[in-house]
Chain A
Amino acid sequence: MTTFSADFSTRASQPPIQLEPPRLEIAQPILEVRDLNKSYGSVRALEEVSLELYPREVLGVVGESGSGKSTLLRVLNLEEQPEGGEYHLGIPPYEGRNLLQLERFERRALRVKHIGIVYQNPHLGLRMNNTSSGNVAERLVIAGERRFHALRAAARGSLEVSEFPISRMDDPPRKLSGGMQQRVQLAKAIALKPALLLLDEPTTGLDVSVQALVLDTLRRLQRDLGIAMLVVSHDLGVIRTLSDRVVVMRHGRVVESGLTDQVLEDPQHPYTQQLVHAKL
């Protein structure tokens, strides 16, 4: 028997059962943000956004363009200052401090040492005319490495782990394919074994087959290095492949969050249902 009832749909749009706070997971979140707000003129890019990321976890952030997901990523990378809220990373000596209040110098030191990022647009993340190995080495040099051979070895190691062909390590990114450029970005991002890796549409714009290979590298890296990752994408396939949990953003708000398979298979919010079915 089928039922058409306004009564049903209002009841159903609330989550069926409220979830409890974590009880089995004893680790503290590696990343925690509370009540982030950010406007551009009259546009609310972030509205009361809160989320946490646990050690070794991959959190997906999905939403259409304009949903605020890229702003969120820039705030997490300390590139953008929100109007209010808190941002904590569980890394000594930053524990307990609201990172949104860091001095410019501290912010830079934190970013270099503890946060890696891969941008959709490699021009944002790479020096296109320098060598690929140099792009990776620069991070280490900023962190204080002053031995040439150590830099060379670390750059090579990081590129290898990112499954970049070593014979091309001294080619500039401008001469590389899109997939290879993403691998250089990745090598640079993980060079210092960051606590947090941010991925901004890491495979958008790549060939489907190249995309699968890059995603595979990301999975391996996550597995072997245990880095907590936050991946922003409008591509549900990417999210499904990479993330354990997912938050869905719309108009700057988190409208739903849950296990990746649950959000994709049994979305609760009307917007998420629309989004998920759009892909089918």
Chain B
Amino acid sequence: MILEVQGLTKRFALHELGRTVDAFADLEFTLSAGEFLLVAGGNGVGKSTLLRTLYRTYRASSGAAFYNSHRGRIDLTRAADVDIVLLRREELGFVTQFLRPRPRVSALELVAEPLLFAGVRQEEALRRSSESLELFGLKRELWEAYPSTFSGGEQQKVNLARALIQPRRLLLLDEPTASLDATARAALRERLAALKAEGMAMIGVLHHPEDATGLLDREIRLEAPSGSDARLLEALEADYVA
């Protein structure tokens, strides 16, 4: 078992508005190594919020999410911040549709960066970075260029190449396929299949679940709890800066 979620509840408190917004309540599910769990549900039911709560971008209001790390079992909702930093560096991955390009940093370097932070040597990191860019079909002439000048589709390829360059123990996917062409979607599916075969567990929010056909094992369906406000929740989720 990789993850055991028990009674997980998220409620936003908006002090300025003097009100709270409920996202989800009392979620229960488990996830094993190599499993892919789809999070389904309509708009504004807090699908992204769930992923962010597990990644600890959001703080849970109650409940627990026990994660079996290589280093031991820990509740993601209560783990010390430095423990989460450590897990994010080593085991937890989060893929969104947003890339944050930086001036004067080439696509190749940007993709290699997570490896460099993990202590991989420069040449090795760049080699694996080019493999990853190759896989997602970014044109070779763009590898040395700066992604800030790229189209949305090209940026997304760089983003995926970067996000999936390291094997993770648990990967959270938040609509990673928006604005991707068919080739890149196929590449993503191929990469996820490979990582899944290696035992990576995944939780995904997917606009087009057919992108992951054959990979999905189970699904949980979120419904808006009483006290929720779909519009406000959507607005909150949209505030997010990757």
B57 touching A259 by the CB < 8 A rule? yes
B71 touching A12 by the CB < 8 A rule? no
Say yes or no for B56: interface residue by CB 8 A criterion: yes
A3 touching B15 by the CB < 8 A rule? no
Contacts A12-B11, A19-B81 given: A24-B16 contact, CB under 8 Å? no
- Kindly identify, within residues 35 to 57 of chain A, every residue whose CB is under 8 Å from any CB belonging to chain B: 54, 57
B226 touching A16 by the CB < 8 A rule? no
Number of interface residues of B (CB under 8 A): 49
Chain A contacts of B58 at CB under 8 A? 262, 265-266
B103 touching A212 by the CB < 8 A rule? yes
**Cβ 8 A contact of B19, one of A2, A268, A277:** A2
A24 touching B74 by the CB < 8 A rule? yes
* Min distance, Cβ B82 to any Cβ of chain A, angstroms: 4
Chain A facing B: main interface SS:
mixed
Closest to A15 in B: B59
- Kindly identify, within residues 2 to 38 of chain B, every residue whose CB is under 8 Å from any CB belonging to chain A: 11-16, 18-21
Contacts A216-B104, A268-B59 given: A24-B83 contact, CB under 8 Å? yes
B103 touching A209 by the CB < 8 A rule? yes
Closest to B118 in A: A223
Say yes or no for A93: interface residue by CB 8 A criterion: no
- Stretch of B84-92, B136-144, B166-174, B186-194 lying at the A interface: B84-92
A17 touching B16 by the CB < 8 A rule? no
Closest to B69 in A: A24
* Min distance, Cβ A218 to any Cβ of chain B, angstroms: 12
* Min distance, Cβ A221 to any Cβ of chain B, angstroms: 12
Q: Mask for B41-66, Cβ within 8 A of A = 1, else 0?
A: 00000000000100011111110000
Closest to A262 in B: B57
CA gap between A114 and B106 in the complex, in Å: 33
A9 touching B79 by the CB < 8 A rule? no
7 closest A-B pairs (Cβ-Cβ)?
A12-B13, A270-B15, A22-B80, A266-B58, A16-B61, A24-B83, A25-B82
- Residues on A facing B (Cβ under 8 Å): 1-6, 8-9, 11-13, 15-25, 54, 57, 209, 212-213, 216, 223-224, 240, 244-245, 257-259, 261-262, 264-266, 268, 270, 273-274, 277, 280
